[in-house]
Chain A
C-alpha cells in the first residue's frame, strides 16, 4: 500500500479540488472581466441586462444541443464528429416535410416534421453505432465518414440551397417563450437535466463510465456492450437532431450547414467541462459550464467591440488550457490519465 496515493497531502488535495472546479472559476472570472469592462468603459452592466443574459443563454443552448449527447459518447471513450451535419440533415428534412404538407398543415404538420427529422437523425446515429460496435471502426474515423455522408445527403435533399418555409406554428416553436424563457433554452435545459440523470443516476450511466475506463470491466459484468454503444450514438444523433429542429424553427428555414459552425464548439464545451479524450471522465454539468464559457466569450468579445473573429482565438486558447488542467489533474492522482 502506497500511503502517498491513498492519503494525499492536504496541499495537493486543495490543488486538486481547485483544478476540478477550474471551469466554474474561469466562468466567474470572464463574467467578472466583462462586467468590469462594461462598468468602466460604458458605465453600464454586462451581466445584469436581460437582453445579454438571454442572448448568452440562447447561444449556449445551441452549443449544448450538440454537446449533451456528445458528452455521453466521449465519457464512453468515443467521439461523434457527425453531429454537425446530423443537425443540418434534421433541419433540412424538417423544413421539407413542412413545405411538402403545405401552409395549412398546422400543428399536426409540425409534429410530423419533428418526428421525421428526428428519424433522419437517429438513422445517422444507428449507422455510427453499428460501425463502431459491430465493425470495430474507430469512432473518430467512422463518424468522420458519416459526417461527410450526412453533409452530402442534407445538401442533396435540399437541392444545394436553404429550404425556407412559412408556418406560424414553426415560428412559434423556434421563437416563442415558455414562462418568459425562450423555447430553445427551455428545451436545452430539459435535455441537460435528462442527460445528467442518465449519466449520474442510472445503471446506463455507470456502464458508460465503466466502458470509457475499461471495456473488459463491463463486458465481463455481462453488459451488452454493442447495444450500449449503439444507444449512445443514437442519443448523440437525436440531441444534435433536436438542435437542427430548433434551427429551422428560429430561422424558418432548414440549412444543410446549420450545425457546422457549432460542431467544434460543442466538442470544445465537453473537453472544457472536464472530459478526457481517453474516456471515463466528464459530466453534464461540466459540459453546461463549458458551453456557457464559450457563449460568454462569443458575446463578450463582440460586446467589447472586438472583431468577432477574436472569438475563435479565445476559444482555442481555452481548449488548450482545459487540456493542460486535465493533464495536471492526472499527475496529482498518481499519473494515470
Chain B
C-alpha cells in the first residue's frame, strides 16, 4: 500500500541559509504523524513546503499518487490537504456556520436576487460539529463567544467538511487550558477513525505521546530520528530534539 502523503528529500534554502535539508517521511490514511522539534528546527518550513506556501529548493511531495510540488496553496487545499494554523483564521464576529462556509457560502434566490442561506449553513455546521462530538450551545452566536477548544473544533470541522483527507495542525493545543487540550486530542482520535491523515506539529511531550502513531524529530533542519511512541521515552525524544542524534 502506498502512503497517502509521501515527502521525499525536501530541502529549503533561504538566501545562504539551509533551513531544512533531506527531510523524508510518509503519512498513511488514518495515521497521526507528529513533527517534533525545538523552535527553529524547521517544522514550519516543512509544513509550508507541503501546503504550497514555500516551493522546496529540492525534493518533492506526492499526495495520493500525484505530485504536489510547485502547486499553489489553493490547489493543494482543493487536492484535499487543509492546514490549520495556530491563529485558526476564524472570523470572530461571524457564527460557526458562516465560518465553516467562509469563501464558499450557500445562497438561495429570492426574486432573482441571491440571499445568503444562513439557517442552512448553521444547520450543517451544527451537524458537522456533532459528528466530531462537539455541541455548540448557541449556534447563532459569533465564535468569539466560544471556548478555545470549541473554536479549534470549528477550524477542524471546516477542514473535514470540505473533504480534507490530510489535516496539518500547527500547535493546536498551545493556547488552550487542560480540559480543552483533552477535547482537541479526542478530536484528533475521531479524525483518525474517519481515515483522515494528520500531521501534528508540537513540542509538548504529553501531546506528542498522546496523539502520535509515529514521531518524527527534527533538529536543526534535518530528521534526527523516527520513533513509535511505544518504543521510546520522553528523555530520548528530548535528547533528539536537542540534537544529540540517534
Contacts and interface: CB of A to CB of B under 8 A. Distances in A.
Interface string B137-158: 1100100111101100000000
A201 interface: yes
B108 to A, nearest CB: 10
A2 B91 contact: no
Interface stretch (B39-47, B99-107, B122-130): B99-107
Contacts of B141: 6
Interface in B168-184: 179-180
Nearest to B83: A220
Interface residues of A, number: 31
A316 B116 CA distance: 37
A39 interface: no
Interface of B: 74, 77, 85, 87, 89-94, 98-99, 102-105, 107, 113-116, 137-138, 141, 144-147, 149-150, 179-180
A216 B89 CA distance: 6
The A interface is mostly helix, strand or loop, or mixed, namely helix
A328 interface: no
Interface of A: 1-2, 5-7, 197, 200-203, 205-207, 209-210, 212-214, 216-223, 280-281, 333-334, 336
Given A1-B150, A5-B147, A6-B138, A223 B103 contact: yes
Nearest to A197: B113
Contact of A218 (B91, B137, B147): B91
Contacts of A197: 113
A218 B91 CA distance: 8
A206 B194 CA distance: 31
A202 to B, nearest CB: 7
Contact of B92 (A6, A202, A207, A213): A213
Contacts of A221: 89, 102-104
Contact of A214 (B74, B90, B103, B145): B90
A205 B93 CA distance: 13
Contact of A6 (B85, B89, B102, B145): B145
B195 to A, nearest CB: 24
B149 A1 contact: yes
Nearest to B150: A1
Contacts of A6: 137-138, 141, 145-147
A202 B114 contact: yes
